[in-house]
Structure 1
């Protein structure tokens, strides 16, 4: 990956379909997500197609799926497939993995194997979909392993489009994705780089407080068009958190073209824009020579 050739690094994209056509979500949840993001009828890209999309734009992308099998009963897309596909497109793709925290010691072994044997560069957690409180001590052995592996952990925070509009929200509980839960993780694992994904509605102020207070906590801006960002998020991104805020789109539900076009119209200082779009992520992901 030639960092100088890149205009941006998108730290939040999803592998939604495997090579054999297996979806990352059940039919009901996929349909609800499509309705929420108004992507009905849109074909889900394969990882090679995702790579081509980003290569054309000279953008690198972090790619992951979500393993929520214990909570949903739906088998995930294999982390090994994601890692192998990203390796074939290493000029633009960076593989993250997802391990089901409820799988206990098996999850810990998988995390080590995926980093050491498959080149995975970080882990994605979705507390609402995976149905767990991040600060539950039962999951601390997993964080300990990830901290030892010296890669980031990215946590979905705030509301989710998955299950929106389905009776009972498809069984998905929003309470698990309060960023204050992740504050405990940041305290107990101070060497673990943590990314709070998305503007964290309805807990935006909590997310800003955690990222301001904890040196190891960052925020990605995925899942929302920038024109809808809360004003306090823009204010902090422009000032106190200018070195800790990261570009993320949530592709394929939000295309980077739309995100970047709306970001261009946001009141962000010229010197802060390159930090958010590329420099902060390059440093966090260890892509710089420093």
Structure 2
């Protein structure tokens, strides 16, 4: 059944499915999970998808669920997009599947993207170019973008600092330069029907994300990955004014619990009248739920 907006209090656009229900945890990813859990002071055990969905159902929060395909950049086996899509389809009263395809897969990745959209009901896509070890504007990823653009779907692009790799030797091989938001600007120009969501406050390039969201009608910002108490002041300023229709609630679960994010957000200066948009209405419109 479709999501009933009257029965949910929020939409979390940024939730990770980090382990499969069928396969063991990938040992390469395990090293990054160890470091990320220490950095975020979060539990090390990663919940499986049914546990995640049940938590969100109990809290009356709809979610966009995805894995990160970084097989080329990290050498870690991905969780299957098809597993995520099938899980979401079984729980479509609360869950929407996003897919992640390594840009290095080019035209073959584009075939997977189209199959996932047409036959498995995927509602959007997730890219993490730091983990995928490539520039967001690299033309090798354009065949995948072309498919997303054709279907006018949203795509989340990780921006800013990466919790993945923080504290590891050499940052775990992660190159932070690929998280600079302005690297996505060419993509926003070349694919104007793809709704681009710049994930996280984008520190240390916060103002780039704000500028892009002001300038491009197809660029939005999700507020995941940070506790709101640490948001730079300009994020709150623009959320309250010019970008109040462009800001989206996201948690980055399982590293940040959605209820913890929501509780903290109540005390950081968001105006009362903009909170319904941030928490639910902006995402509902972006995702075609209204």
TM norm structure 2: 0.97
> Residue 133 of structure 1 corresponds to which residue in structure 2?
135
Tell me if 1:33 matches 2:36: yes
CA–CA distance in 2 between the matches of 1:241 and 1:171?
34
Contact 2:106 2:142 in 1 (8 A): no
Q: Secondary structure at the match of 2:64?
A: strand
CA–CA distance in 2 between the matches of 1:77 and 1:244?
30
> Residue 235 of structure 2 corresponds to which residue in structure 1?
233
Tell me if 1:255 matches 2:257: yes
Q: Deviations over 1:230-260 (max 9, x none)?
A: 0000000000000000000000000011100
> Residue 47 of structure 1 corresponds to which residue in structure 2?
49
Q: What is the CA distance between 1:22 and its match in structure 2?
A: 3.1
> Residue 118 of structure 2 corresponds to which residue in structure 1?
116
How many residues of Structure 1 are paired with residues of Structure 2 in the alignment?
Answer: 287
CA–CA distance in 1 between the matches of 2:23 and 2:232?
37
1:187 to 175, 186, 189: 189
Contact 1:22 1:77 in 2 (8 A): no
Q: Secondary structure at the match of 1:90?
A: coil
Alpha-carbon RMSD: 1.1
Q: Deviations over 1:17-68 (max 9, x none)?
A: 111253366222111111111124x421111111110111110010000000
1:145 to 133, 147, 169: 147
- 5 Å matches for 1:62-77? 62-77=64-79
Contact 1:219 1:246 in 2 (8 A): yes
Where does structure 1 differ by over 2 angstroms across 4 or more consecutive aligned residues? 20-25
CA–CA distance in 1 between the matches of 2:213 and 2:203?
15
Q: What is the CA distance between 1:180 and its match in structure 2?
A: 0.1
CA–CA distance in 2 between the matches of 1:57 and 1:28?
30
